[in-house]
Homo-oligomer: A and B are copies of this chain.
Amino acid sequence: MTGKREQTKKNNRSAILEAARDVFAKLGYGATTVRDIIRATDLASGTFYSYFKSKEEVFEAIQDETALRVRPRLRAERMRARSVEEFVAGTFVTFFESVAEDRRAFAVIRRNADAIRIRMDTPEVIAGFDELRSDLVAAIADGLFPPVDVDFLVASFVGVGFEIAEYMLKRDPLDTQAAADFATALFLNGVRALPHLAAATGEAA
């Protein structure tokens, strides 16, 4: 009955990741120690090291797991796009919804204890950025997207996405649509197009 053992292993790994998510969210990445993570678990200290080498590795695993969940959704959305509008709107809507669905993961990524923000660009996260880049290049080739400096555009998507997400999470009620509408309008038509949006949503400041 190897099944049981294997199950336990999976459970332990999950337990550590789950505990780490909580601890990182509470203490921030910098202040978190491996001990803190173990303590939030009912495992023995040594067990941690059977699964991860360090807190860095757990952090990466969390990031990667999140990225792995969000990436296909973003990609699918972009594949479906038949116009610039759909491409941009789809990307932002999906991203902000993903953030809203896993606020904790995002909290880990962004704000930490004190004033320190941390973001870890793990392989999966970088792969997500690369995917966006590839899709943009393809969209340009297809004539779907205007020919632009792709690196700068990726940077803009990432920057606007992450920064707005943070403000979005601070607001109550949580309105992913408003965030997506803002980012989309900015990207499609620039700041002068935003007032129409503001008028529509009633949010002018």
Contacts of A197 in B (CB 8 A): 148-149
Most buried by B among A145, A152, A163: A152
Contact of A122 among B115, B188, B190 (CB under 8 A): B115
CB of A156 within 8 A of CB of B146, answer no
CB of A118 within 8 A of CB of B121, answer no
Is A49 located at the chain interface by the 8 A CB criterion? no
CB of B191 within 8 A of CB of A150, answer no
CB of B164 within 8 A of CB of A162, answer no
Copies in the assembly, this chain: 4
Cα(A178)–Cα(B149), bound, Å: 10
Is A135 located at the chain interface by the 8 A CB criterion? no
Is A198 located at the chain interface by the 8 A CB criterion? yes
Contacts of A116 in B (CB 8 A): 29, 56, 118-120
Is A193 located at the chain interface by the 8 A CB criterion? yes
127-176 of chain A: CB within 8 A of chain B: 137, 140, 145-153, 155-156, 158-164, 166-167
- Give A200 Cβ to nearest chain B Cβ, in Å: 11
CB of B188 within 8 A of CB of A146, answer no
Q: Which residue of B lies closest to A126 (CB)?
A: B115
Contacts of A189 in B (CB 8 A): 189-190, 192
